[in-house]
Structure 1
Amino acid sequence: MRRPRNPPCTRRNRDRPKNQRTFRERWGDYPLSEKEVIVVEASSLEEAKMIAAQEWGISSSDVIVNLLEEEKKLFGILGKRLKVEARPACSLGLLRARKILSELLEKMDLNVSLSLKDDHTINISGDDVGIAIGRYGETLMALERLVNLMLNRSAGVNFRVRLDSNGYRDRREESIRRIAASAAKKAIDKNKPVGLQPMSNWERRIVHMTLQSMDGVETRSVGQEPRRRVLVCPKPTAKVRKEGARRD
C-alpha cells in the first residue's frame, strides 16, 4: 500500500502552537495559490493578512491589504465583516523561499537577517553569517539546494532562488577563476596535469566553464565527494604548439 505523502496529524503536531509549526506542517505538499491578488473576508485587517499568508505560504508581514468593503452586523452587536483585497509584497516564490530559509536558520540557532533582491537572490547578513556560509561556501550552497527543493515541492512550481552574503559568491567566483587560469598555465608550461583542491559542485562548474574555451587544456572531475576535485590537463598538442611558437 502506497504511503501517503503528508505525515499523519499526530498529537505532538496537533498540540504544537501554529506559529511554531514548520513550513511543511502548515501547508503540506499540496500546491499553494499562485494568484497575485486575492479577496478575503475577515473580522480585521490583521486576520485578512493571516488568511492570505496561509493561502500563499508566506509570512503575514509580507502581505499588503486594501479594504474594499466593511459590513456591520446587527447594529454592531455581532461585530463587523471586512472584504479585503490582498497582494504579496513581491514575488511569491521569493517570499516563500525566505520563509523556508528563515525557519532553517532558526533551527540552526543563527543570529542572521535576510533581505531580498530583484534577481531572485536572498542576502544573508549578521553576526553568525560565517557559519551560514561555511568552508568555501559549502553550507551556503547546501542551504540553497535545500531551500529550492522544499520550495518546489510545496508550491508545485519551478522557481529557483540564489543565496548570497554581501557579495561573497562574486568574490569567491573571481578567486576560483584566477586559480583555474593559473592552473591552466602551469599545466601547459610543465606539460602535465595539475590537480586543484577539493571543491563543491558549484566551484567545480566555475572551473570547467572558465577553461572550456581556453586553447591547450581540458578539465575533468575526479574523486568522490567530499574530496572530489578538478584535474586540469594539457591537450596532446599544447606542448607542441608552445615549442613551435618559441622556435618562431
Structure 2
Amino acid sequence: MARRPGRASWRRSWTGSRTSVRAGRDRRVNRPGDPSRARPPGRPLPQRSPAREATVDEVERSAPSVEEAIEAALAELGATEQEVAVQILQEPRGGFMGVGSQEAVVRVRLRARREEATEEDLEEQAEIAADFVEGLLSRIGLVAEVEQQVDDGTMYLNVVGGESEDDEEDMGLLIGRHGQTLEAVQELTRVVVGHKTGLRCRVIVDVEDYKKRQRARLASRAVEVARRVARTGKEEALDPMNPYERKVVHDAVAGVSGVESSSRGEDPDRRVVIRPRS
C-alpha cells in the first residue's frame, strides 16, 4: 500500500500523540514518524495474573468429510487449527446407493492452556495489539485514530480515519477487497499477541466498524436462510466466505432448531451449506 507522493510531506509534519477517553472508549491517535509512539517510561503493561491450572476442552463432530467435521469442531471451540489436537474417529464411507454410508467423525481437543483471558489479560492484549497496529499504520503512512472498544465481551481495536476523501480512500485500502487486507492485519496481530502473551488473541482489529456491520449482516442472512431450510427441508449453499465469515454463519445457524451447517469446497471458493438436521 504505497504512500501517495502528494500527501507525504504534510503527514510527516505531524508530531506527538495523545490518549483520551471518550464515551467509554480509549482513543489513541497515530501519526506517521511519531517518535513518541512507544510506551512512555513508567507506563508498564498491565500485569498478567499468575498462570492458572490448565483446562482441556474437546468436542466430537460428524460431517460428510473429515475437513468439514474439523471445521465444525473449530467453530464450536472458537479455535484455530494451531490451537487444537485432532483425532479422526471414523473415516467417511460412501456405501452402495446410500446403503452402508457413514460420515466422518472427529474428536477435537484444545491443547492445554490457561483459562480464558481475565480482564487484565485482555487489557494487556489490547495494549500490545494497539502498539502493533499503530506501528503498522505509521510505516505505511496512514493517519488514523485507534480506539479500544469493548462490545458484548469482545475487545475491538477500531481504526478510524478522517472525513476527507483521501482519508476515506485510505480506510478502504486498509480494508481491502472483501476485507482481505484487514484479515491479513488481523492475522499478524494474532501472531504478535499470541507470541508475547502465550494466550489466544481475543482482540479483533476493525476499520471503521466494518467487521461489526459485516457480522450483523452475515448473522441476519444466515438465520433467514436457516429458517427457510427448516421450513422447506431443502439444503442451501451460501456464497464463498473466508474463515471468519464462515464462523459467524456457523454460530448463527447453531441458534436455529432443526438445521445444521458445514463447509464445502476449497478456499477461496469454500462456502457454508445449511441443511436439515439429520
What per-residue deviation string (whole Å, max 9, x for no partner) do you get for residues 146-172 of structure 1? 11202332x253262221233332221
Look up the match of 2:158.
123
**Structure 1 gap segments, 5+ residues each:** 1-58, 66-85, 237-248
Look up the match of 2:132.
100
Residues 62 and 95, structure 1, Cα contact 8 Å, conserved in 2: no
Question: 1:108 Cα shift?
Answer: 4.3
Question: 1:104 Cα shift?
Answer: 2.9
> Which residue identity does 1:132 align to in structure 2?
L
Q: What TM-score do the two structures reach when normalised by structure 2?
A: 0.49
Task: Select the structure of larger CA radius of gyration.
Answer: 1
Q: Aligned equivalents of 2:209 and 2:178: distance in 1?
A: 14
Question: 1:176 Cα shift?
Answer: 0.7
**1:87 partnered with 2:43:** yes
Look up the match of 1:198.
240
Q: Structure 2 vs 1, CA of residues 107 and 223 (structure 1 numbering), >3 Å: closer, same or farther?
A: farther
Question: 1:174 Cα shift?
Answer: 1.3
Q: Structure 2 vs 1, CA of residues 211 and 159 (structure 1 numbering), >3 Å: closer, same or farther?
A: closer
Q: Does the residue aligned with 1:210 lie in a helix, a strand or coil?
A: helix
Residues 240 and 271, structure 2, Cα contact 8 Å, conserved in 1: yes
Q: Aligned equivalents of 1:185 and 1:200: distance in 2?
A: 23
Q: Does the residue aligned with 1:215 lie in a helix, a strand or coil?
A: coil
Look up the match of 2:259.
217
Q: Does the residue aligned with 2:240 lie in a helix, a strand or coil?
A: coil
Query: Which structure is higher in helix share?
Result: 1
Mapping of residues 7-46 of structure 1, within 5 Å? none
**1:139 partnered with 2:161:** no
Q: Does the residue aligned with 2:218 lie in a helix, a strand or coil?
A: helix
Question: 1:233 Cα shift?
Answer: 0.8
Aligned-residue sequence identity (percent) comes to 28
Q: Structure 2 vs 1, CA of residues 93 and 208 (structure 1 numbering), >3 Å: closer, same or farther?
A: closer
Q: Does the residue aligned with 1:196 lie in a helix, a strand or coil?
A: strand
**1:178 partnered with 2:220:** yes
Q: Does the residue aligned with 2:191 lie in a helix, a strand or coil?
A: helix
Q: Aligned equivalents of 1:109 and 1:63: distance in 2?
A: 20
Look up the match of 1:34.
none
Q: Does the residue aligned with 2:257 lie in a helix, a strand or coil?
A: coil
Q: Aligned equivalents of 1:169 and 1:109: distance in 2?
A: 23
Q: Aligned equivalents of 1:228 and 1:63: distance in 2?
A: 42
**Structure 2 gap segments, 5+ residues each:** 1-34, 47-122, 162-166
Q: Aligned equivalents of 1:98 and 1:179: distance in 2?
A: 32
Q: What TM-score do the two structures reach when normalised by structure 1?
A: 0.54
Residues 216 and 235, structure 1, Cα contact 8 Å, conserved in 2: yes
RMSD over aligned CA atoms reads: 2.7
Q: Structure 2 vs 1, CA of residues 166 and 89 (structure 1 numbering), >3 Å: closer, same or farther?
A: farther
**1:157 partnered with 2:198:** yes
Q: Does the residue aligned with 1:197 lie in a helix, a strand or coil?
A: strand
Q: Aligned equivalents of 2:149 and 2:38: distance in 1?
A: 15
Q: Which has the higher contact order (CA 8 A, sep 6+)?
A: 2
Look up the match of 1:207.
249
Look up the match of 2:145.
113
Q: Structure 2 vs 1, CA of residues 108 and 227 (structure 1 numbering), >3 Å: closer, same or farther?
A: farther
What per-residue deviation string (whole Å, max 9, x for no partner) do you get for residues 35-69 of structure 1? xxxxxxxxxxxxxxxxxxxxxxxx7545455xxxx
Aligned residues: 157
